[in-house]
Structure 1
């Protein structure tokens, strides 16, 4: 097994999918503290968005957002949540994934969020370019 298959293979994608479902459950749970909810919401906006920040057809960089941003955001949200609550959400997500072929919902708000980031970056780049011409 190559290192790439271990990081981006079917088993890794399935584990990430289950953790994203658990994050969804954590976000919706009443006992989740607000910092964890805020991070979970941002991570879910990105994870469930139909638009990637870096499109997958761009070699290497296209996969880096899934390999780095999602796991790091997930780790931060989990670190901010109480351990028993996270374990309960993770167990529930695992059971749902095992019982049926669960599919993640698509969030249009996530797409809007990503488009706004691109517009902001484009505006900053244009402003930088324009100020360099003056």
Structure 2
């Protein structure tokens, strides 16, 4: 019974985190949000929805630390930067979107993968140049 309860708590927290990521996505589009809050929010959303992690999940224990610590911390900081009335309105939009079923956005998925590939190529090029010098 204890394991089922712990699993339910974790599942509930994951759903809430997913909702908050959508809140940040909608807040990014709101004109009442400062530019620095928009920038931070979109970085958090991009990282949360990106298929590639800073620390790969196959690394035992440490691989999930970014999902457990970095994403919730980023969401919390981003929500603190956004005005409360904007957060309330965006939360209502996010709840409506999730209740209808989250749409799949293949364009954004391809964009994130392309971004990671470009970053990998740039880092590889930089390391190659460093080794030559």
Give SS of 1:84's match.
Answer: helix
C-alpha distance in structure 1 between counterparts of 2:33 and 2:72, whole Å:
19
* Residues 45, 107 of structure 1: 8 Å contact kept: no
The structure-2 alpha-carbon separation of the partners of 1:118 and 1:14, relative to structure 1 and needing over 3 Å to count, comes to farther
Question: C-alpha offsets along residues 99-126 of structure 1, whole Å, 9 cap, x if unaligned?
Answer: x2214644444345555279649x67xx
2:50 maps to 49
C-alpha distance in structure 1 between counterparts of 2:58 and 2:28, whole Å:
31
Q: TM-score, normalised by structure 1?
A: 0.74
Q: Are 2:10 and 1:5 equivalent residues in the alignment?
A: no
* Count of matched residue positions in the alignment of Structure 1 and Structure 2: 128
C-alpha distance in structure 2 between counterparts of 1:49 and 1:41, whole Å:
12
Q: TM-score, normalised by structure 2?
A: 0.75
Kindly report structure 1 stretches of 4+ aligned residues shifted beyond 2 Å. Answer: 1-7, 103-121
**Which residues of structure 2 form unaligned runs of 5+?**
none
C-alpha distance in structure 1 between counterparts of 2:71 and 2:120, whole Å:
16
Question: C-alpha offsets along residues 66-89 of structure 1, whole Å, 9 cap, x if unaligned?
Answer: 111111111111111111101110
**Which residues of structure 1 form unaligned runs of 5+?**
none
Give SS of 1:41's match.
Answer: helix
Alignment of 1:109-128 (within 5 A): 109-114=111-116, 116=119, 120=123
* Residues 46, 114 of structure 1: 8 Å contact kept: no
1:4: how far off? 6.3
1:97: how far off? 1.2
Q: Are 2:40 and 1:39 equivalent residues in the alignment?
A: yes
